[in-house]
Amino acid sequence: MSDILDVSHQREAIAKAAAYLSGILEPHFKKTAKFEPPRTLIICGSGLGGISTKLSIDNPPPITIPYQDIPGFKKSTVPGHSGTLMFGSMNGSPVVLMNGRLHGYEGNTLFETTFPIRVLNHMGHVHNLIVTNAAGGINAKYQACDLMCIYDHLNIPGLAGQHPLRGPNLDEVGPRFLALSDAYDLELRKLLFKKWKELKIQRPLHEGTYTFVSGPTFETRAESKMIRMLGGDAVGMSTVPEVIVARHCGWRVLALSLITNTCVVDSPASALDESPVPLEKGKATHAEVLENGKIASNDVQNLIAAVMEEL
Ligand code: HPA
């Protein structure tokens, strides 16, 4: 797919994928009353595919569809992202799960990255998005393995013209000029904090601003410092395109970051310094992101499952 599709091609691609999914799901809806159309989409972030273990295994058993079988869906190419759509039930609430997300840095256009949301919206049942991600901590108070409920975002590529709503507008879905001052649903955020308290989760749950960068490089020190100065609390390479498209569809959004590493904001070691701090100190790695993801992922899974109880 090219960067910008005209409206008729967008509509055609969306309808084709929706028809494919309906063809698989409809017989299940008919066969068992227990299998209801999902009201909520959960997107699993890096290392957070374990959320799928919270799907009910037999009431009804989940239906798993690989992205590569769905027309127009791109494949997930990143370690820690499996690439399947799973329809089932979590804590009694019907749900669809994206086990593995699509990123712009993999070479996907923002239309392709957010295509699953468009397709599910076309199918007409989903109206909640729960999105999770791994993020770097920018706020000095944040530590690796803390959690952050997103209450606002900085869309750095979007401010510079790489925006998921760029191009012809799907008027039947949402407005041309979408307000994002209310992007992160207050009731859902309150629910998340309530569940965090009820579950007595020990790791901190902050509330803050997520900064979207395109990646795939981790930030330089100067970039991390800039993000902190701009008011960002965490930084990552995902989430914001999906949130924007979900809001365009009129869905409610809850977004949760797992802080997998802390970003380095101090100036680099100087060549003029007699005993410089080693330059590699604090350097981010994908292995660290996945490792810390593993440590905190149980809490994330339990939190999401508890929220699902009420959706
Ligand atoms: N920067 C950008 N994306 C990330 C980071 C980071 O430090 N950690 C996890 N995802």
pLDDT tens digits along 103-162 = 999 989 999 999 999 999 999 999 999 999 999 999 999 999 999 999 999 999 999 999
Q: What average pLDDT does this structure show over 9-34?
A: 87
Catalytic-residue membership of 134: yes
- Cα of 31 vs centre of ligand 1, distance in Å, is 44
Q: Which residues carry a binding-site annotation for a purine D-ribonucleoside?
A: 219, 261
- Cα of 133 vs centre of ligand 1, distance in Å, is 9
Q: Is 134 in the pocket of ligand 1 (CB under 6 A)?
A: yes
**What are 183-225's pLDDT values in tens digits?**
999 999 999 999 999 999 999 999 999 999 998 999 999 999 9
Q: What percent of the chain has pLDDT over 70?
A: 96
Q: Which fold has domain 7-269+276-308?
A: Rossmann fold (3.40.50)
Q: What average pLDDT does this structure show over 28-47?
A: 83
Q: Could you tell me the maximum CA-CA distance found in the chain, to the nearest angstrom?
A: 74
Catalytic-residue membership of 76: no
Beta strands (DSSP E) in the chain are 40-43, 63-66, 84-90, 93-99, 128-137, 147-155, 205-212, 234-236, 252-262
Q: Is the pLDDT of residue 48 over 60?
A: yes
CA-wise closest residue to 224 among 263, 251, 191? 263
**What are 76-93's pLDDT values in tens digits?**
887 656 789 999 999 989
Ligand 1: residue of 285, 289, 291, 294 to mutate (most ligand atoms within 8 A of CB) is 289
- Cα of 54 vs centre of ligand 1, distance in Å, is 25
Q: Residues 220-234, buried b or exposed e (16+ Cβ, 10 A)?
A: eeebbbbbbeeebbb
- The protein residue with its alpha carbon nearest to ligand 1, atom 6, reads 136
Name the phi and psi angles at 22, rounded to 5. Answer: -60, -40
Greatest mean pLDDT among 158-167, 249-258, 272-281: 249-258
Q: Is 265 in the pocket of ligand 1 (CB under 6 A)?
A: no
Q: Is the pLDDT of residue 41 over 50?
A: yes
